[in-house]
Amino acid sequence: MSTAAHQFVSHFDGIDGLKKVKAQVSPPGSGEVLVEIHSVSLNYRDMEVIRGEYNHHRAIGQGPNIVPCSDMCGVVKNVGQDVTKWKVGDRVLSTFIPDHQTGQLTESAVSKGVGLPLPGVLATHRIFADYALIKAPEHMSDQEASTLTIASVTAWMGINGMRPLGQNGGQDEYVLLQGTGGVGISALQIAKASGAKVIITSSSDEKLELAKQLGADFRINYRKAPDWEKSVMDVTKDHGADIILETGGAETILKSFQCAAYGGLINCIGYTSGKGSTTGDLPNINLLTLSKTLTLKGIINGPTDRFEEMCLRLMRPKRPSNFWRAGLTLESWSFRSINRLHLQPWILISWLVSDLNSFKCSPPVSVALAAQANEKQPCTIVYFYHVAIDLIFALEILLYIEILRVPLCS
């Protein structure tokens, strides 16, 4: 018997084109699992997908439309024939690239990623292959656990991915993080829990104060110190950063080479400053790599076994003590503005705000800032910042806050 469901569909034309539709989900077949989705978290990638801008991987095609999003936590409602790993009632998380079970990512696997090119999880129900799920940490809420799939796994791989499974890195190493987005904040707390000395950059002293509360040892405002690579060398006493999570892209990659430690690792993760070169002179990557015997590694996410490894090491988070409330509608979504939005009691969307604009907070209180209706963006803007110091993961720093619920079926 089919299951009545609702899902959001994008035609790659931006937020305004995201449409809510009814759907019928067929019973799970052999090796398949039906999941009722309780919580979905959004990433920078998801915004690129619905805008039609996620086009830099040759293996990822684009059809006429897509159900977006990759990160979810839900409950198994039915299992198909031959499924022994899961039973009805199990809490599960989606994996981003299900065929990437272990080892290096392949072109074949990345061509089957959830949320593009395969249908995503922005729905009430979805069929998954039984190997496309992992067990949700028991001590985490659905909302908390749903934020692990992309940002936290990417951060975990940036620090541990070049080491054997079970041999985690970071101890006594200098780790350089660019920015205070979901990957950076997750990596900050992973690195600190591993015993690393963490350097983080930002354009805002307020964001750097937040990073300090989360344990950052050295904080650099790159607006005030445009030659921040020299600052990194200064604070490390000319040693350089052993591990760099390179998320800036065009405007930062050369600086990353210049402040990397001899034999260091540069993880190419993002491109917030752009995908193309900002100058006519491209750096000689070959010479830069050889000069310090560096390792340059591109990271999309991580395999299932590393995701499970990470979940085994999660600590129970500390809840914030206060919040403000605000109501949102689907039509009010806009880039870097919407933080969390209830579509149903069982569907929570937590948007990763990559630019932590204009926040004020007194740790350990989560703060929501609501813009007035007459401002440039005609919507309620809500930011949540979790600043508990003893978290291993900030979980995209968007957790635990409930706001007005908007019926999915209206």
pLDDT at 144: 83
Give Cα 53 to chain centroid, integer Å. Answer: 17
**pLDDT over 60 (residue 61):** yes
Average pLDDT over residues 366-370: 25
Which of 272, 264, 324, 252 lies closest to 294, judged by CA? 264
Average pLDDT over residues 73-101: 98
Sheet with 218-221, edge to edge strand ranges? 218-221, 197-202, 174-178, 241-246, 260-268, 295-298
Instruction: Flag whether the pTM goes above 0.85.
Output: no
Nearest to 394 by CA among 225, 211, 240, 123: 211
Asked whether residue 24 carries a pLDDT value surpassing 50, the answer given is yes
Q: Which pLDDT score is estimated for 379?
A: 25
Instruction: Name the least confident of 9-18, 249-258, 279-288.
Output: 279-288
Q: What is the pLDDT of residue 248?
A: 86
What are the DSSP calls for 266-288, one per residue? Answer: EEE---TT-SS-SSSS---HHHH
pLDDT greater than 90 at residue 308: yes
Instruction: Tell me what pLDDT residue 371 has.
Output: 24
Distance CA 316, CA 77 (A): 26
pLDDT reported for residue 305: 97
Average pLDDT for the chain: 77
Q: How far is residue 209 from each of residues 201, 220, 257, 273, 320, measured CA to CA in Å?
A: 11, 11, 26, 23, 17
Instruction: Determine the number of helices (DSSP H) and then strands (DSSP E) in the chain.
Output: 10, 15
Cα 8 to Cα 88, 102, 153, 219: the distances in Å are 25, 31, 25, 40
- As a dihedral over the C-alpha atoms of residue 177, residue 183, residue 186, residue 189, rounded to 10 degrees, the angle is -10
Mean pLDDT, rounded, for 15-43: 93
Decide: residue 180, CB within 10 A, 0-12 exposed, 13-18 middle, 19+ buried.
buried
Dmax over CA atoms of the chain, in Å, equals 66
Label residue 58 by pLDDT band (50, 70, 90). Answer: low
- Confirm if 32 and 127 have CB atoms less than 8 A apart: yes
Structure tokens at 181: 């987005």
* Alpha-carbon gap, residue 92 to 75, rounded angstroms: 6
294-314 average pLDDT score: 93
Give whichever of 35-44, 67-76, 134-143, 318-327 has the largest mean pLDDT.
67-76
Task: Please check the confidence at residue 233 and state whether its pLDDT lies above 60.
Answer: yes
Read off the tokens for 36: 């009722």
Instruction: Considering the chain, tell me which residue range(s) the CATH 3.90.180.10 domain(s) occupy.
Output: 3-152+303-312
What's the pLDDT at 291?
94
Q: What is the radius of gyration, based on Cα positions, of the chain?
A: 21
Where exactly does CATH 3.40.50.720 map onto the chain?
Answer: 162-298
Contacts of 164 (CB under 8 A, 6+ apart): none
Q: At what angle do helices 304-312 and 153-160 cross, to 10 degrees?
A: 90
**What pLDDT does 377 receive?**
29
pLDDT recorded at residue 189: 83
Q: In DSSP terms, which residues pair with 92 in a beta bridge?
A: 74, 135
Is 70 exceeded by the pLDDT of residue 385? no
Confidence of residue 240 (pLDDT cuts 50, 70, 90): very high
Mean of pLDDT values over 375-390? 27
Residue 311 pLDDT greater than 80, yes or no: yes
Quick one: pLDDT band at residue 251, thresholds 50, 70, 90?
A: confident
Higher pLDDT, 406 or 249: 249
φ/ψ bin of 17: left (φ > 0), alpha (ψ from -120 to 50), beta (otherwise):
alpha
Assess whether pLDDT exceeds 80 at residue 55. Answer: no
Q: Quickly tell me which residue has 């491109």 as its tokens.
A: 271
**Length of the chain in residues, anyone?**
410
Query: Looking at per-residue confidence, does 240 or 55 come out higher?
Result: 240
Section 305-319 average pLDDT: 75
Categorize the per-residue pLDDT at 399 as very low, low, confident or very high, splitting at 50, 70 and 90.
Answer: very low
CATH class, 3-152+303-312 region: alpha beta
162-298 maps to which CATH number? 3.40.50.720
User: In this predicted model, which residue has the larger pLDDT, 393 or 284?
Assistant: 284
| C-alpha distance from residue 27 to each of 67, 78, 163 (Å) | 19, 8, 40
One DSSP character per residue, 202-252 reads: ES-HHHHHHHHHTT-SEEEETTT-S-HHHHHHHHTTT--EEEEEE-S-TTT
Q: What is the average per-residue pLDDT within 141-165? A: 92
256 has pLDDT over 50: yes
| pLDDT value of position 334 | 37
| Segment 174-201, tens digit of pLDDT | 999 999 888 898 899 899 988 999 999 9
Measure the CA–CA gap between 271 and 381, rounded to whole angstroms: 25
More confident residue, 25 or 14: 25
